[in-house]
Amino acid sequence: MTGPHPADGPPIPPAGEGAPFDLVLLDRDGTLNVQVVDDYVREPGALRLLPGAAAAVGRLRAAGCRVVVVTNQRGVSRGLMTLTDLDAVHERLEEELAARGAALDAVLSCVHAAGECGCRKPAPGLLDEAFRRAPWAARERSVLVGDSGSDLAAARAAGVPARRVGPAGAAPSLLDVVTDLLQGRDG
């Protein structure tokens, strides 16, 4: 079995005092950035943040939550992009967020084909890796936000509550969901 990329990330430091959630696990394509139809975000120039996404991440971080992206990127196993390309896309993601005052605590990717690993969502391996790097975090005090059934299934398999954003940038946006989560309402 192969595991998440990168394999050797540093520990995730504890959430801030009074944070409403320990880890907030975010899907990438269709949740933080525009999903490329029938393709992958293969290079940094193709990355487009969704409206309000940076503000949502900034609000989570300001509340003391640790924010971790968990993303399926099968385009690597299909030979459509390299790990270097993927890392460059994630550097751009960090830059775009930083330009808007936001930041991520980790980005964990499954770069494998379906059925050859334990980390491709709906399997829970990416989430398990996030909690391995954050042993202080409780799953029931964490939440995953994604736009697809496989996101919700991965959360269910990992024992983490989940919320869904609308498809293809439709409401509710990530910012809508985060606003709701930070107000402590259930959806």
Q: How far is the CB of 110 from Zn ion (least distance, A)?
A: 3
Output 66 or 112, the one with its CB closest to Zn ion: 112
Binding partner of 119, given Zn ion, Mg ion, none, CB within 5-8 angstroms per partner class: Zn ion
Query: Following DSSP, what letter does each residue of 89-154 receive, concatenated?
Result: HHHHHHHHHHTTT---SEEEEE-SPTTSBS-STTSSHHHHHHHHH-TT--GGG-EEEESSHHHHHH
Catalytic residue among 27, 85, 105, 147: 27
Q: How far apart are alpha carbons 135 and 122 in whole angstroms?
A: 22
Contact residues toward Zn ion (CB under 5 A) are 110, 112, 117, 119-120
Residue 165 sits at the vertex; the CA angle it makes with 159 and 170, to the nearest 5 degrees, is 165
Catalytic residue among 22, 29, 105, 147: 29
Q: How far is the CB of 26 from Mg ion (least distance, A)?
A: 10
Please confirm, yes or no, whether 27 is among the known catalytic residues.
Answer: yes
Instruction: Please state, in angstroms and as integers, the Cα–Cα distance from residue 132 to each residue in 86, 93, 136, 138, 181, following that order.
Output: 23, 24, 9, 11, 24
Q: How far apart are alpha carbons 49 and 21 in whole angstroms?
A: 23
Residue choice 147, 152, 164, 178 for contact with Mg ion (CB under 5 A): 147
Output 86 or 119, the one with its CB closest to Zn ion: 119
Instruction: For residue 50, state whether it binds Mg ion (rule: CB under 5 A).
Output: no
Output 109 or 148, the one with its CB closest to Mg ion: 148
Instruction: For residue 29, state whether it binds Mg ion (rule: CB under 5 A).
Output: yes
DSSP state of 33: B
Q: How far is the CB of 40 from Mg ion (least distance, A)?
A: 12
* Catalytically annotated residues: 27, 29
